[in-house]
A and B are shown apart, each in its own frame.
Chain A
Amino acid sequence: MKHLKYFPTISTQRLKHTCKGVAALKLKSILQGELMMKNSSGRASKIPALNPMNPGVLQNHRTAFVTALSGLDTALTLEIYMTAFPSLVHPTKNRLDITLFICGESSSKTQLKEKLIAAFLNIKPALGTLFPEADFQPVTQLKELKSLRAYQHFKYATIVDRKFSEIELEFPFVHKPIGFGSDTGEKTVESQKNNIRHIFQWTPSGSDWSDLMGMMLNQLDANRVIIRLNRSASIKHAVENLRQTVSVCDRFLGTKSPEGSTQKEQAQSIKNQALSRISGLMTAGFNVGVYLLSTNPASEFLATILACAITGTGSNGKSETFWEGGFRISKTTVKKAVDIRHFPDETEPFTAVEAACAFRLPSPPFEEIPPRDTGEKISNGSVNHQQHANRRNTNIPWRQYP
Chain B
Amino acid sequence: MTKAMHNAVPDPERLEFTREISHEDSKEFLHGMEQETTNNTSIKLAMAEELRSLGLTEKAISRQLNIITGRTDG
Q: Decide yes or no whether B21 CB sits under 8 A from chain A.
A: no
Q: Does A259 contact B (CB under 8 A)?
A: no
Would you give the shortest CB distance from B66 to chain A, in whole angstroms? 10
> A363 near B: Cβ within 8 Å?
no
CA distance A369 to B67 in the complex (A): 48
Q: Count residues of chain A with CB under 8 A from any CB of chain B.
A: 12
- Interface-side segment among B4-12, B34-42, B56-64: B56-64
A-B pairs under 8 A by CB, number: 32
Which among A5, A6, A110, A117 has the highest number of chain B CB atoms within 10 Å? A117
> B60 contacts A6, CB within 8 Å?
no
**B40, chain A: closest CB distance, angstroms:** 13
Shortest distance between the CB of B14 and any CB in chain A (Å): 38
In the complex, residue of chain A having the shortest beta-carbon distance to the beta carbon of B63? A114
- Measured in the bound complex, the distance between the Cα atoms of B55 and A196 in whole Å is 51
Q: Please tell me if the beta carbons of B64 and A118 are within 8 angstroms of each other in the complex.
A: yes
Which of B51, B54, B57, B63 has the largest number of chain A CB atoms within 10 A? B54
Q: Kindly identify, within residues 305 to 335 of chain A, every residue whose CB is under 8 Å from any CB belonging to chain B.
A: none
A285 to B57, alpha carbons, bound, how many Å? Answer: 32
B57 contacts A7, C-beta separation under 8 Å? no
CB interface residues, B 9-51, toward A, < 8 Å:
46-47, 50-51
Q: Is A28 an interface residue (CB 8 A)?
A: no
Task: Name A10's contact: one of B46, B54, B60 (CB within 8 Å).
Answer: B54
Q: Is the CB of B50 within 8 A of A114?
A: no
A395 at the binding interface (Cβ < 8 Å): no
**B59 — nearest CB in chain A belongs to which residue?**
A114
CA distance A123 to B4 in the complex (A): 53
* Contact-residue size bin, chain B (C-beta under 8 Å from the other chain): 10 to 19
Contact B55 A117 (CB under 8 A): no
A6 to chain B, nearest CB (A): 5
State in angstroms the CA–CA spacing of A121 and B63 once bound together. Answer: 12
Among A6, A110, A114, A121, which residue has the most Cβ atoms of chain B within 10 A?
Answer: A114
Residue from B47, B50, B55, B64 in contact with A110 in the complex, judged by beta carbons closer than 8 Å: B55
Contact present for B54 and A113 (CB under 8 Å): yes
Instruction: Please report the C-alpha to C-alpha distance between residue A113 and residue B57 in the assembled complex, in whole angstroms.
Output: 9
| Complex alpha-carbon distance, A174 and B63, angstroms | 65
Q: Name the one of B46, B47, B60 contacting A114, with C-beta atoms under 8 angstroms.
A: B60
CB of A9 closer than 8 Å to a CB of B: yes
Q: How far is the CB of A118 from chain B (nearest CB, A)?
A: 6
Chain B residues at the A interface, C-beta cutoff of 8 Å:
46-47, 50-51, 54-57, 60, 63-64
Query: Can you sample 24 A-B contacts with CB below 8 Å?
Result: A5-B50, A6-B46, A6-B47, A6-B50, A7-B47, A7-B50, A7-B51, A7-B54, A10-B55, A109-B55, A110-B55, A110-B56, A110-B60, A113-B55, A113-B60, A114-B56, A114-B57, A114-B60, A117-B51, A117-B56, A117-B60, A117-B64, A118-B64, A121-B64
